[in-house]
Chains A and B, each alone.
Chain A
């Protein structure tokens, strides 16, 4: 097991235990040293004892010099009483000596010194005191001074000398010993002081080093972890970041492993959330795309008609960007929808689809018809609606055109039928009138023969008829019938086979010729009601030749020009000069167009919708037949399989657009 695998807890406990042990060792040593070398301690006492021995021995009573001197004093005196007094003192000293001996016997350890002092010195001392007591002082008592003197010089002196030798030796030994003990003690004290210093320093250094190493390890590992955790918290790097590399199995290692596991999980979570976000973004873009790809204006609004969603078509149609539209009320952005805004609240309240199929919407490029549909949003507790606005202008125009074309077809059929029915009686009247005129003239031989048979003359009959105004009436019948026949002929002139064949013609040339014809017609007739009108041609020279009947197409252009220049009369006073533009161009869809555009007064819808009907005219009764545009319509639609559209804005002008198929004539 490696050291780095030992847990920090164990290391800290170990450190604490080691510190305690070291402290105890140092403390124990200190206590032991103090105890050993303290005052009255064993060492101290050893030294003191040895010194005491010397001090105690040299003076009496243990050193028996005093009794020996007292015996000598007694020898000098003859007075018995004095001798007895001295004998008493010696006895006191003996008792003192005994007490001291017992004291030392108890104090001294059994060593050489004790033997010397309490045996080798004590034996002669005991001998001395016994001899003095049993031999010397009894001899004096008897008065035998000679005997006494002999005892003193003999036995007593001998005992004293031996005693003194032992004492001298004891003192020498004790002094030596005391000196040796002091030296040894000093050495021991030095040794232990050194030892304790070394142990203490070693303990402090060791513990400090171990503590520093441990602290460094913890701090370094913790720093690495803290940095990583900080990075994680700050979301630095790529968020999930690198794994923490700590190769140990202690708490830091476990913590690192935990952080690594957390990082792994966070990576997973981050990846998951990225995936989810990506998917959500993808879905959002897809929905956005779908909504933006719709050809309809799609606007999401809340219950108060404030815009929440604004698609690209809405931006395109209104010129208002989604960012500008957000949160604003729909009718504030599109004031023309103000009358319909109630549909939103109705849709939200009733949860039903609301619709307005004809919303007029004036845009810079003209009036558009919109269909407005409001779908309530009924899911997820959202209160609001989706407003769909479809430009149905083309569809409505197409429907109108279909109705128009149907109407025109039935009118055409009706007119043809009526013409047929009228032509017969007309022929009857006209022929009869002409026959009558011829039969009253004098030219025919049969007339003369008949007059003669009747007993009169042609001249007389004529004179009579002239008187009664008959020829004039016959002329009247004739001219009235001619007019009626003219009307029928004009009305159906387009359907009469004109003789010209369908052939490819360059529209620009046909138009130019028609414009030239119109101009000469104008110069010829000098129509008073029409002011000078400028006619401008704009041709697409790349337009291929169009299969058509030249004379009919020219009639179409002529009629349209005539219609336009007559419309100018009602133009009123305007800054711009009256002007007609005749344009040829491709329609981009396999067709060729002739446009005749004026800047006249325009016409209201009620006029526009009926403008091709025969005999429909807004002009004074004498100025037109009301058939010009009807003929145009029939030539274009029936004879050429083409189409004619009319756009008009009151006060701005009118544009007729004739579209002829470029392909095979239908």
Chain B
């Protein structure tokens, strides 16, 4: 595994969602780190790089969108998957400017849950930006 392992960070303030999601992704073979809010997520990114960050939009303190904007500056190679419970979420222009599309958004709860793993693998396989 090692080199081939895709690194995923899950950012969600809901502990049950975060824990179950991490467990699922670990079971799927991803290298997973968790964060309860944006500050924790940014601190993690300072320490280590991840391939894909799964970000809830509604977060205490800094919201998911701002987190993505910050994170893309801290770790420009990171890809993001918005995973939100909001039913009417539309990608703001700022995120679209990062090259994000509808493929970067997943409605919570993902049904079936395998959609999540598929989306992460798809994003991880993409080459975006320049190192």
Please give the residue numbers on chain A whose beta carbons come within 8 Å of chain B beta carbons, in ascending order. Answer: 416, 419-432, 434-435, 438-439, 444, 446, 481-482, 485, 488, 492, 495-497, 499
Measured in the bound complex, the distance between the Cα atoms of B13 and A421 in whole Å is: 13
Contacting pair A432 B16 (CB below 8 A): yes
B74 at the interface (CB under 8 A from A): no
Residues of A within 8 A of B107 (CB): 423, 496
Q: In terms of DSSP, what is the predominant structure of the interface of chain B?
A: loop
Instruction: Give chain B nearest CB distance to A497 CB in angstroms.
Output: 7
The answer to whether B85 and A431 touch across the interface, beta carbons within 8 angstroms, is no
Q: Indicate whether A431 sits within 8 Å of B14 (C-beta atoms), given known contacts A423-B109, A492-B88.
A: no
B108 in contact (CB, < 8 A):
yes
Q: When the two chains form their complex, are residues A446 and B27 in contact, meaning their CB atoms are under 8 A apart?
A: yes
Say yes or no: A495 contacts B88, CB within 8 Å: yes
In the complex, the 8 A-B pairs of residues with the closest C-beta atoms, listed nearest first? A423-B85, A428-B16, A427-B109, A431-B20, A492-B87, A432-B20, A428-B17, A427-B108
- Contact yes or no, B111 A419, CB < 8 A: no
Nearest Cβ distance between residue B63 and chain A, in whole angstroms?
13
Q: Are B109 and A481 in contact (CB under 8 A)?
A: yes
Asked if B21 CB lies within 8 Å of chain A CBs, one says: yes
Instruction: Map CB proximity to A onto B71-99 as digits: 1 under 8 Å, 0 otherwise.
Output: 00000000000000111101000000000
* A431 and B87 contact, Cβ closer than 8 Å, known pairs A425-B14, A439-B27: no
A414 CA to B103 CA in the complex, in Å?
28
Specify which chain A residues have a CB less than 8 angstroms from the CB of B88 in the assembled complex: 416, 492, 495-496
- Assembly CA distance A262 to B113 (angstroms): 114
B87 contacts A435, C-beta separation under 8 Å: no
B124 CB to closest chain A CB (Å) equals: 20
Given contacts A427-B17, A446-B27, contact A488 B87 (CB under 8 A): yes
In the bound complex, what is the Cα–Cα distance between A622 and B85 (angstroms)? 28
What 10 additional pairs, Cβ within 8 angstroms, besides A420-B58, A496-B107? Answer: A416-B88, A425-B16, A426-B108, A427-B110, A428-B20, A430-B111, A434-B24, A434-B113, A435-B24, A495-B88
Residues of B within 8 A of A (CB-CB), count: 24
| Complex CA distance for A497 and B107, rounded to whole angstroms | 11
19 A-B interface contacts by CB (under 8 A): A416-B87, A423-B86, A424-B14, A426-B85, A428-B20, A431-B17, A431-B24, A431-B113, A432-B16, A434-B20, A435-B20, A435-B27, A439-B23, A439-B27, A482-B111, A488-B87, A495-B87, A496-B88, A499-B102
Interfacial chain B residues near A421, Cβ < 8 Å: 85
* Closest residue of A by beta carbon distance from B116: A431
Kindly provide the distance from the CB of A561 to the nearest chain B CB, expressed in whole angstroms: 26
Q: How far is the CA of A56 from the CA of B111 in the complex (A)?
A: 195
**B111 neighbours in A (Cβ, 8 Å):** 430, 482, 485
* Closest Cβ neighbor of A492 among chain B residues: B87
Interface string of B20-46 (1 = CB under 8 A from A): 110110110000000000000000000
